[in-house]
Structure 1
């Protein structure tokens, strides 16, 4: 493995771990959970091409690195977080993570 490939690999892993560890924060339109969900999936989308490039020119390594990232982030999202939200429904392994998002702090609905 070349120095460039090794650097890209560790850079991709760093992006994934930042996506996992970076906390959410409240904004005017979104609550902490929604911001965290966006950061999490943005980090995943950013890391996948970096990890794919890390495996080049060996296509098998590139596919293995991207598959590893998808399994890691997908599994973490399903088993540990409420980060999988499809059609307004949160998919998670455990009931506390399936609860709806709290309203954003500026939302004053009755």
Structure 2
């Protein structure tokens, strides 16, 4: 089954909206390794951001882009979109790791 990955490549001065294609098993979404491989095939050498699974950061410090943000994973049957409002609410409710006890 095909999964269309809609994502933004964030540069300092602009953001480019692009799409990629990954083949996945029935009723599954792509995993981090599949997404990383897709980006590498597109000449974006990235790794997953540990804090945000929908964000990928460049491996090399001299990259011309700041990060890649996945907006949507669409298999035709299922569509996964990140709920930014919910994410902001949860991040404000959870304690920060940098706060003193």
TM-score bracket, normalised by the shorter chain, equals under 0.3
> Counting helix residues as a fraction of each chain, which structure ranks higher?
1
Which structure has the greater CA radius of gyration? 1
Give TM-score scaled by structure 1 length. 0.26
> Counting strand residues as a fraction of each chain, which structure ranks higher?
2
Give TM-score scaled by structure 2 length. 0.27
